[in-house]
């Protein structure tokens, strides 16, 4: 899968995941439909996480190759 395809696939999965979350939060689904939506959401979440992990690995390789930098763990609280 090319990089553009991966990004598009990721964005589509993320959008679908957001839709599923909204459906689940609306409490309008039957229990059976909610379980199916939840199962699909878990799969989409795993797919998105896989793409993000691959992207992080590529960034790490590029940083190490060019200037020996290491990625630091992101902490949103540290900027405050």
**Is 2 in contact with 54 (CB distance < 8 Å)?**
no
Record the pTM.
0.69
Q: Is 29 exposed, middle or buried (0-12, 13-18, 19+ CB in 10 A)?
A: middle
pLDDT tens over the chain, length 80 residues: 556 667 788 999 999 999 999 999 999 999 999 999 999 999 999 999 999 998 888 888 888 777 766 666 777 777 54
- The pLDDT value recorded for residue 69 is 63
DSSP 27: T
9-25 in b/e burial notation, b at 16+ Cβ within 10 A?
Answer: ebeebeeebeebeebee
- The pLDDT value recorded for residue 32 is 97
**Is 73 in contact with 66 (CB distance < 8 Å)?**
no
């Amino acid at each position: 899968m090319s990089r553009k395809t991966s990004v598009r696939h990721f964005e589509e999965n993320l959008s679908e995941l957001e839709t599923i979350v909204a459906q689940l939060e609306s409490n309008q689904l039957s229990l059976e439909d909610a379980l199916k939506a939840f199962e699909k959401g878990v799969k989409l979440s795993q797919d998105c996480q896989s793409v993000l992990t691959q992207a992080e690995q590529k960034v790490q390789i590029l940083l190490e190759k060019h200037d020996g930098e290491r990625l630091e763990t992101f902490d949103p609280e540290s900027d405050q």
